[in-house]
Amino acid sequence: MSETPWLTVLGLGEDGLDGLPRSSRQVLKRAEVIMGPPRHLALVPETGAERIEWPVPFSDGLPVLKALKGRNTVVLASGDPFWFGAGSVIAREIDPAEWVALPGQSTFSLAAARLGWPLEGTLTFGLHAAPLTRLRPHLSSGLRTILLLRDGPAVAELATYLSETGFADSKLHVMEALGGSRERAQSVSLTEALLGSFEHPVCVGLEVKGKGSSFPKASGKPDEIFESDGQITKRPVRALTLSALAPQRGEHLWDIGGGTGSISIEWLMCDPTLTATSIEPRIDRAERIRRNADALGQDRLHVVHGTAPDVLSELRLPDAVFIGGGLSDQLIDWLSANLRPGTRLVANAVTLESEATLANYHEALGGDLLRIELAHASALGTQRGWKPTHPIVQWSVTL
């Protein structure tokens, strides 16, 4: 472990060193190596230090950075490196005793100050390296959010996406080069955004308006938001299943027999720290799960085409498991033998044979066994009556 850090992550403003404290300038003067994107390197004066351009994709720069250990190195970043910036990635890769960070003023703080929006009530998104669909679960009329975008043309892409999702009345506050001498801010409609020209770096204050559909915050999202071939855990049962799975911050889910991916997608919607893997033996359904996850802003879902338990040993161990398809003695025995104590398991059954399997394991391993019987009102001649659905048996247990 180094006695003193060899690495400094330095947040710059749009005019480089202007406005930075004297201590930040001294760090640059002492540096043996300065590493960063070309735009950031151009913002700082020559000091005699070796200059290394950070490659694209970003992950390719991490081995280069690690190889510099022992040399006084400065990595340049925008504003606050730990708010949708490079800082968190670097911190995961480098020993905490080996680096320090000197953050600058964040774009979000500058944007909120220009707009007069309280940050504690404003959603913030870093979409410079993420798809616009990350917005989808949050879109509702009245939402205010500040977005970091990839480049100027991404403003038009955002306008197109909002129009396609039914929020064509939204207003965009487009801010370029915030905090620098080139700063420019303008409020535009979606039509004006499509026709306008904007320069990188750019962020947008978005006021969402329109009649597009908004997703409820509770578990049990509408069935209609999922592309499906009919193999889907329906909304009421999905809500009960998510309740039984009981997601907690930072946990990982295995969704076995994913079907449409509705369970794992809703799991991910509960909290941004959650992760999930959906395992599906049919390639057409695995591809459908991928499409659903991407369209609903959960592109971080890991989709595996394969059969459980054959593919499970290669996967990251879960904190919770849902069996929606492929239920068998072999699968439950494998899970019982290979998963960590404390892992939560939830399985749904609709056939007599699968019900019997769950009843046997409930007797052997304990847990809760729940029979779910639902009926929907439907036409019955000239009046109405109850049309029952197939009953569902749900077993939940902590291994």
CATH label of the domain that carries residue 186: 3.30.950.10
Q: Give the domain-ending residue among 51, 82, 105.
A: 105
Claim to verify: residue 180 and residue 83 sit in the same structural domain: no
Query: pTM for the complete prediction?
Result: 0.91
Residue-averaged pLDDT of the chain: 95
Is residue 169 one of the residues assigned to a domain?
yes
Claim to verify: residue 100 and residue 172 sit in the same structural domain: no
- When pLDDT is averaged across residues 321-339 and rounded to a whole number, the result is 96
52-79 pLDDT, tens digit each: 999 999 999 999 999 999 999 999 999 9
Claim to verify: residue 238 and residue 123 sit in the same structural domain: no
| Structural domain of 168 | 108-207
Claim to verify: residue 101 and residue 115 sit in the same structural domain: no
Is residue 218 one of the residues assigned to a domain?
no
Specify the CATH number for the domain of residue 43: 3.40.1010.10
Is residue 214 one of the residues assigned to a domain?
no
- When pLDDT is averaged across residues 163-169 and rounded to a whole number, the result is 97
* Domain count along the chain: 3
3-state secondary structure the chain: CCCCCCEEEEEEECCECCCCCHHHHHHHHHCCEEEECHHHHCCCCCCCCEEEECCCCHHHHHHHHHCCCCCCEEEEEECCCCCCCCHHHHHHHCCHHHEEEECCCCHHHHHHHHHCCCHHHCEEEEECCCCHHHHHHHCCCCCEEEEEECCCCHHHHHHHHHHHCCCCCCEEEEEECCCCCCCEEEEEEHHHHHHCCCCCCEEEEEECCCCCCCCCCCCCCCHHHCCCCCCCCCHHHHHHHHHHHCCCCCCEEEEECCCCCHHHHHHHHCCCCCEEEEEECCHHHHHHHHHHHHHCCCCCCEEEECCCCCCHHHCCCCCEEEECCCCCHHHHHHHHHHCCCCCEEEEEECCHHHHHHHHHHHHHHCCEEEEECCEEEEEECCEEEEEECCCEEEEEEEC
Is residue 362 one of the residues assigned to a domain?
yes
- Asked if 155 and 214 count as a contact pair (C-beta separation under 8 A), the reply is no
pLDDT of residue 1: 41
Q: To the nearest whole percent, how much of the chain has pLDDT over 70?
A: 99
Claim to verify: residue 144 and residue 82 sit in the same structural domain: no
| β-strand partners of 228 | none
Specify the CATH number for the domain of residue 341: 3.40.50.150
- When pLDDT is averaged across residues 238-245 and rounded to a whole number, the result is 97
- When pLDDT is averaged across residues 206-226 and rounded to a whole number, the result is 96
Is residue 347 one of the residues assigned to a domain?
yes
pLDDT of residue 21: 82
- Asked if 369 and 362 count as a contact pair (C-beta separation under 8 A), the reply is yes
Claim to verify: residue 100 and residue 142 sit in the same structural domain: no
- When pLDDT is averaged across residues 95-108 and rounded to a whole number, the result is 94
Spatial separation of the C-alpha atoms in residues 368 and 391, rounded to whole Å: 16
Claim to verify: residue 92 and residue 129 sit in the same structural domain: no
What region does 48 belong to: left with phi over 0, alpha with psi -120 to 50, or beta? left
pLDDT of residue 24: 85
Claim to verify: residue 370 and residue 393 sit in the same structural domain: yes
Q: Give the domain-ending residue among 105, 128, 154.
A: 105
368-398 pLDDT, tens digit each: 999 999 999 999 999 999 999 999 999 999 9
- When pLDDT is averaged across residues 324-331 and rounded to a whole number, the result is 95
Claim to verify: residue 198 and residue 254 sit in the same structural domain: no
260-303 pLDDT, tens digit each: 999 999 999 999 999 999 999 999 999 999 999 999 999 999 99
Is residue 213 one of the residues assigned to a domain?
no
* Residue 265 or residue 4, greater confidence: 265
Residue 2 scores a pLDDT above 50: no
Is residue 176 one of the residues assigned to a domain?
yes
Q: Give the domain-ending residue among 105, 126, 144.
A: 105
Claim to verify: residue 172 and residue 274 sit in the same structural domain: no
Claim to verify: residue 276 and residue 391 sit in the same structural domain: yes
Claim to verify: residue 190 and residue 271 sit in the same structural domain: no
Is residue 184 one of the residues assigned to a domain?
yes
